[in-house]
Amino acid sequence: MMTFQQKNNTEISETSKFQFAVIGAGAMATAIVKGLLNKNIYKASEIIFLSRSQEKLEKQNKELGIAITTSYDELKKQVADDAFLLLGVKPQVMPIALEGLIGIKDSNKIISVAAGIKISTIEKKFPENKIFRVMPNTPAQISKAASAVSYNAKSSKESIAKVKEIFSAIGICVGVNEKDLDAVTALSGSGPAYVFLMTEAMTNAGIKLGLSKEVAETLARQTVYGAASLMIESGESAQVLRKKVTSPNGTTQAGIENFQANNFEEIV
């Protein structure tokens, strides 16, 4: 039997009941757990990781003091009746994870962050459970994520509010219909990569204009950071802020007109 372990390899007693279980120990799952601990939504003693990678598990155990296991059977014995189970595995591993969780209580609540896996797919295995599908993004690693959540008909107001609280620990969380999650994936899920691409292009443009790589990169990063912060803190729309910085017949206007002539908005 696989024993559960906490920090310093101290075994957890058989009477322990975990309130939050994480299947998978990758970057997103780890970011979510760190957010929960930082916001005191759950204590380390209330969380357990399950993964096939003993190396990743040992890292979580050492760094976070989280209980670990490689056994689905032992996990199912130890989670509380009303525990949340976070499916933090890649989409191609989801069938294995769902099969492993067969036998959980109907009162256990399931959260999936796997892109493209519909609630109905999970419901086929767990028709009586409350099921949530969430699309966070990579800024979760610094608690600046944009997450969107949808849920099945079994979910209660209390459980929906709790899931939003969980994902608010790593940024912001909004509720959407499941049919809109593809749009969320395109906008905020993939969006950071597009911002990084634009920042990369701005940096390279600065270098071509004669700036050093260090100066160009520093200015590009701070420009993106400052513009994003201004949008959030001012409360004004991107359109209003754009117009404020665009002087008539100035260099900024010339740049924007060049973007528009090259179908910038259509490309995005």
Virtual CA dihedral for 55, 57, 63, 65, nearest 10 degrees?
-150
pLDDT at 209 over 80: yes
pLDDT at 12 over 70: no
pLDDT at 216: 98
pLDDT at 253 over 70: yes
Are 119 and 137 spatial neighbours (Cβ–Cβ below 8 Å)? no
CB count in 10 Å sphere of residue 151: 21
30-57 pLDDT tens trace = 999 999 999 999 999 999 999 888 888 8
Angle at 154 between CA 48 and CA 16, to 5 degrees: 25
The dihedral built from the CA positions of residue 114, 136, 173 and 148, taken in this order, carries a sign that is negative
Eight-class DSSP state of 12: P
Strand order in the sheet with 171-175: 67-69, 47-50, 18-23, 79-87, 109-112, 130-135, 145-151, 171-175
pLDDT at 39: 95
Query: Average pLDDT, whole number, for the chain?
Result: 92
Token pair recorded at residue 203: 């940096």
Tokens 């691409």, residue located = 197
Return the closest-CA partner of residue 143 out of 174, 175, 114, 169.
169
